Amino acid sequence: MRRALALLALAACGGSAPSTYAKHFAAAERAETAGRHQEAADQFDAAARDPASKREKEHAAFLAALELVRAGDVAGGARRLEAIANARGEHAAQARWELVQMDIATSQPNVKDELDAYVRAFPNDGLAYPALEARLRIARDAGGEAEVLNVLRALEPAIAGTDSAPRVAFEIAESLAKQSKWDEARAQFVAVATKFPYPGEYWDDALWRASELDEQQGRVPDAIADLEKMLSVIEYSTLPGTYIRPRFPDAQWRIAVLYRDKIGDKAKAIAAFDRYVDMFSNSTRKDEALWQEAKLTDDAGASCDLLAKLVKASPDSRYVPCAMSRCAKIERPKDSHAPKTCHAYITR
């Protein structure tokens, strides 16, 4: 970020000589790199005094405060950081976080209050996440999950409607689960998915955790419904990249496994594995899905068709020799790097 601002200052000058701000800024960075932190602080100060933009001046002043701390003037740097934090400018959240970290490093007794205040004051800042994590670690060490839940419940109304709201809501659900309050935890996970729907950050995680609790409590159809709800939002990109979240393929796989192993519905398990292949054609488990589907298929011809599809799509798969041993009509692909024989662990 600092270099980007310096380059902006240079760009504003076009082909002319660098501005005084840019000269001081570059000198400060050279001094910082060389470990001359007091010199770096002085040069950043000089840049901040130059008639540059308000944003550039604030940025240089923030870096000067950091360099003062590194130079050994902790009290002086801290006073400057405090002033920057209180000014509520662009660097306020960063400055306050630096102060909190300094207190964490020196084990100050008021750290938990500082962390709590930080999340309340800057709930939309990216640093609110590590601040919350640090606050919960302190709570957990002091009073276990019961204390963690107390802290989260107290924070919840203060950060409502902010970027921290879904995070706190999800942590409440996790804390309830850790206390074996299964029904409350499940309800909270569902509430997270309902209140912060897709593309919310915790949409898929919340429904995944709800499905795990449902399965754990023997509510397998509900677990499948949770996963189906997650997958109902899938969208595909026509551009490079993907909208497929890491949980999505695992969700469809679990649906197939739950139908196969928990409910014993072979037809629905086959359909679920088939859907996995269609939905996630680039998955590294596509060959395994076809293998599982073929194993469940009673019709020998249909099973061989699936295995032939497996071999054609994944000629180097570990399942190739297994497919050949099950269906005599399947030939080993030319230049295949698959194993020569079917490993016993696959057929066990």
What is the pLDDT, as a whole number, of residue 50?
84
Are 26 and 6 in contact by the 8 Å Cβ rule? The answer is yes
What mean pLDDT comes out for the span 293-304? Answer: 96
Give the burial string for 285-307 (b: 16+ CB within 10 Å, else e).
ebbbbbbbbbbbbeeeeebbebb
Percent above pLDDT 70 for the chain:
95
pTM (2 decimals)?
0.88
pLDDT, tens digit, 9 for 90 and up, residues 167-225? 999 999 999 999 999 999 999 999 999 999 999 999 999 999 999 999 999 999 999 99
Close Cβ partners of 73 (under 8 Å, ≥ 6 residues apart): 38, 41
Q: Dihedral of CA 173/174/176/182: which sign?
A: positive
- Please tell me which residue, 15 or 214, carries the higher pLDDT value: 214
For residue 319, report the phi and psi dihedrals to the nearest 5 degrees: -85, -10
Amino acid at 244: I
The DSSP H or E segment spanning 253 is helix 247-257
Angle at 89 between CA 87 and CA 94, to 5 degrees: 100
Q: Last residue of some domain: 244, 277, 310?
A: 277
Question: Is the domain of 42 the same as that of 79?
Answer: yes
Question: Is the domain of 20 the same as that of 92?
Answer: yes
Question: Is the domain of 126 the same as that of 101?
Answer: no
What mean pLDDT comes out for the span 261-281? Answer: 97
**Is the pLDDT confidence value at 133 over 90?**
yes
Question: Is the domain of 71 the same as that of 121?
Answer: no
Question: Is the domain of 263 the same as that of 315?
Answer: no
Question: Is the domain of 24 the same as that of 88?
Answer: yes
Q: Last residue of some domain: 180, 212, 239?
A: 180
Are 44 and 60 in contact by the 8 Å Cβ rule? The answer is yes
Are 191 and 169 in contact by the 8 Å Cβ rule? The answer is yes
Question: Is the domain of 96 the same as that of 132?
Answer: no
Q: Six-digit token pair at 313?
A: 């799509």
CATH number for the domain harbouring residue 230:
1.25.40.10
Question: Is the domain of 8 the same as that of 92?
Answer: yes
Number of structural domains in the chain:
4
By C-alpha distance, which of 112, 93, 221 is closest to 164? 93
Which domain covers residue 17, as residue numbers? 1-108
Question: Is the domain of 56 the same as that of 102?
Answer: yes
By C-alpha distance, which of 260, 323, 258, 259 is closest to 288? 323
Provide the 3-class DSSP secondary structure of residue 291: helix
Question: Is the domain of 22 the same as that of 78?
Answer: yes
Are 241 and 205 in contact by the 8 Å Cβ rule? The answer is no
Close Cβ partners of 271 (under 8 Å, ≥ 6 residues apart): none
What is the pLDDT, as a whole number, of residue 6?
52
Instruction: Tell me the C-alpha distance between 144 and 312, whole Å.
Output: 54
Instruction: Tell me the C-alpha distance between 302 and 273, whole Å.
Output: 14
Structure confidence at residue 237 as a pLDDT band (50, 70, 90):
confident
Question: Is the domain of 272 the same as that of 331?
Answer: no
Q: Last residue of some domain: 180, 207, 232?
A: 180
Question: Is the domain of 91 the same as that of 131?
Answer: no
By C-alpha distance, which of 25, 32, 23, 21 is closest to 67? 32
